[in-house]
Structure 1
Amino acid sequence: MHPTIRTVWPKSPWVRWGIGFGIGLLLFVGVSSRFHSEATLPTLDPLPQDPYIQAYFNQNQAAIYTDPYRHITRHGDNLEQVVIDAIATAQSSIDIAVHEFSLPGIAHALSQKKAAGIEVRVVVENTYSTPMSQRGSPAAIAQLDEHDEAKANDLYTFIDANQDGVLSEEELRDRDALTILAEANIPLIDDTADGSKGSGLMHHKFMVIDGRTVVTGSANWTLSCTHGDFADPDSRGNANSILVIDSSPLGQRFQQEFDLMWGDGPGGQPDSLFGLQKPHRAAALVSTPGSVLEVQFSPTSKTKPWAQSVNGLIAKTLGQATQSVHLALFVFSEQAISDQLLPLANRGVPIQTLIDPGFAYRSYSEGLDMLGVTLPDHNCKRDNSVPWATPVTTVGVPVLPMGDKLHHKFAVLDQSIVLVGSQNWSQAANTTNDENLLVIRNATVAAHFEREFQRLYDGASLGLTPQLQATIAQQKQQCGF
């Protein structure tokens, strides 16, 4: 008999439709923001972990933990604690490049290591490099766009422990991650350190410990990407994974990527390299006992052959599948990757695809191509999409709590190969952003991602749903074709 846990599920799925300004038709598939019932989910047997490559998921149904901030007991691996446990092993250095960093538990762990004489360095995206103490009042936050305002308000509410509407110095030192780092004199730069206004996105989510342990995956170091939005007890966090990999050769590759961005660090020459200022880094093979890994970093200049880019590596690896292709993606908008999948489908290789509800049915989504559908954008213009002549129906969106996202960027091929990293399957990620991708050939690791995929796929909304058909009809009527 396995233990069970009471987990929140939606009353009923619903669909919100709209046309996105400047980017085409948006279809948001979500669930009611208020949950009225709970279902009992069994706790599954844990899968064996590879000794050198451990995989963790914040929705893992084989684990239970209590959210340290909202005190909600739920299924999942505590991704923040995974990072903290890795930090505890550091003997000499900790180098971090993470898009967004607001988890105080990790910040306190780094502060303690810095006090113990360990070298700690941090790179973040410039949008998220300012401590909350310097970001203004609630009135100033209200002037942000809707997305940034919601994120800032949730963080403000989290830091304001006594809920008096004012952030005291004590609250900031306790709960504002960037303030904690600053108080510990941990050097931090963002992607303006090269003298620019910032790269496309510094979108990495990795840490290198002692030059050999790599912690990486799809999760930003935030409440929304791990535990769940602080102000919403129904949130369980964007679906994400983190890997902890013991490999000196892989650590050296990630260390080189970090060093390019770090340059001389704070106060030094503006010699940091972000985005396309970096030299081209070709895909590299490394190994751990029992595994072969391939690693590559973005961006790649459009002057280089596309096959030499990270998306080119994704397409090449997908083409090797012979039995099954399972995709769990935040965004899928790179046409050339879809073009690589089509011959597999024509050969009868089963392809199952889940895309985040916020992106699955935009005009540029390759999910629509796979469904054999073309949707015009908000100007009634058709893009260069190539709908499949023989569509598949195994494409759709998972059912998620309102506000949570499918933030994964992974594929599982033949239940033995995993593609995972920070890189969304888009042209912007490929040619503009600082990103990473790992190809891991290891059936033990693949089993963890396969279980996560099946968890999301069970109950997903697939194929030409009535709602999607209604949107297609509406656009045809609006655009006159």
Structure 2
Amino acid sequence: QLAALADANNDGRLNAEETLNGDAMALLETAGVPLKDDTADNSKGSGLMHHKFMVIDQKHVIFGSANFSNSDIHGDAGAGHTKGNTNHLIKVNDQALAQIFRGEFEKLWNNQFGINKESGSTQEAMVGTAKLQVLFAPHKRSNPSNGLAIIANTLKQAKEKIDLALFVFSAQELTGVLEERVRAGIKLRVLVDPGFASRSYSELLDIMGVSLPDKRCKLEAKNKPWQKPLMAVGIPKLANGDKLHHKLAVIDGKTVISGSFNWSPSAAHGNDETLVIIHSAQLARHFTREIDRLWGGANLGISPGLEKKLDKAERFCGKVMTNREVSP
């Protein structure tokens, strides 16, 4: 991968200059930039140091779903058919917001990572007329300020529609909230990364009303397929090798959920994460266009590939799947 990324003159060999220029961490070290990772607290590391944010001059903040990597921005090194994982970045020019993010950075720089970090409750900043709510994870499961609870409370406020584009969706409690909202008449659209969508613990399966056991023929704990499945869920059409890497929700065309925070227990209770809720109709319009773009050509409902996996699991494990008939 380094050879494919760094071979600037395409001669099939790496010289010392190419090797250095293709290695981001080596460039930082050569320049004397101090570096830390999540083992700096003398632990084996947090679940993941999963933040993707920058604070510049204490007045600009860049955050979102994109890792600062070739594959997330441009495509996989050596795989010209890839276009880069589907992501977003948001830049906000605001000193108050920058101060909130700088506070999180200082905790990390002082060797507070993972669950050992003193993660607080939601912090707010007004940027013009837009209110931003920021939460940094992780939290203990008993903490009512954890990220999944914040997302659930935001979803419960939906009155008309919810659009989701998610890399990972494995939080059972959020699926329950969505089911309640759909019963209340809310229009729901869900897209999940193709590589995750048909895993046994994917909540997309619940929404489609099916269960898929793991390799040991075990179902996810507290698994609860919907009794009235939805068709308006599925996977986007992406270049082979690319991922749907958003962690994105648009609610009622006026609220956006963004950040590094996958909709999973690991994000809430193990990883260093950023969760941002932005109340802005203007930003919501931008992200609705992105979801509309992904929706075009998406494979909705039970795909042929998933149908084969369900049939194979049923032959191997017995009849454990339910609600195979998906209705609108």
The answer to whether TM tops 0.5 is yes
> Which of 154, 178, 188 is 1:341 aligned to?
178
1:389-404 correspondence runs (5 A):
389-404=227-242
Q: Deviations over 1:407-428 (max 9, x none)?
A: 0000001111100000100011
CA distance in 2, matches of 1:455, 1:466: 22
1:172 aligns with 19
1:18 aligns with none
Q: Deviations over 1:306-353 (max 9, x none)?
A: xx1011111110111111100000000000111111111101111000
> Which of 280, 298, 305 is 2:119 aligned to?
280
Identity of aligned residues (%): 45
SS in 2 for 1:189: coil
2:31 aligns with 184
CA distance in 2, matches of 1:431, 1:302: 6
> Which of 204, 210, 225 is 1:367 aligned to?
204
2:148 partner letter: N
Shift of 1:212: 2.0
CA distance in 1, matches of 2:172, 2:21: 46
Shift of 1:156: 3.0
1:259 partner letter: E
CA distance in 2, matches of 1:163, 1:390: 55
1:444 aligns with 282
1:388 matched to 2:226? The reply is: yes
Contact 1:172–1:180, Cα closer than 8 Å, also in 2: no
Q: Deviations over 1:218-245 (max 9, x none)?
A: 1111110001113111110000000000
CA distance in 1, matches of 2:121, 2:194: 33
Contact 2:3–2:13, Cα closer than 8 Å, also in 1: no
Q: Deviations over 1:160-200 (max 9, x none)?
A: 33455553321133332122212211111111111122111
SS in 2 for 1:188: coil
CA distance in 2, matches of 1:362, 1:465: 13
Contact 1:225–1:240, Cα closer than 8 Å, also in 2: yes
Contact 1:172–1:179, Cα closer than 8 Å, also in 2: no
2:154 aligns with 317
Q: Deviations over 1:270-308 (max 9, x none)?
A: xx1100111131012211112011110110112323xx1
Change (3 A) 1:162 1:470: same
SS in 2 for 1:193: coil
Q: Deviations over 1:337-392 (max 9, x none)?
A: 11111111101111000000011111111101111111111111122211111111
1:220 aligns with 67
Q: Deviations over 1:424-476 (max 9, x none)?
A: 00011110000001100101111111111000011100112333233222211
SS in 2 for 1:412: strand
SS in 2 for 1:224: helix
Q: Which structure 1 residue ranges, 5 or more long, are not aligned?
A: 1-152, 264-271
1:437 partner letter: L
1:28-427 correspondence runs (5 A):
153=1, 155-163=2-10, 166-263=13-110, 272-305=111-144, 308-383=145-220, 384-427=222-265
1:63 aligns with none
CA distance in 2, matches of 1:304, 1:347: 28
1:453 aligns with 291
SS in 2 for 1:205: coil
CA distance in 1, matches of 2:53, 2:27: 20
Contact 2:50–2:260, Cα closer than 8 Å, also in 1: yes
Q: Deviations over 1:246-283 (max 9, x none)?
A: 122211111010000112xxxxxxxx110011113101
Give the number of the structure whose alpha-carbon radius of gyration is greater: 1
SS in 1 for 2:177: helix
Instruction: Give the alignment's TM-score, normalised by structure 2.
Output: 0.94
RMSD: 1.3
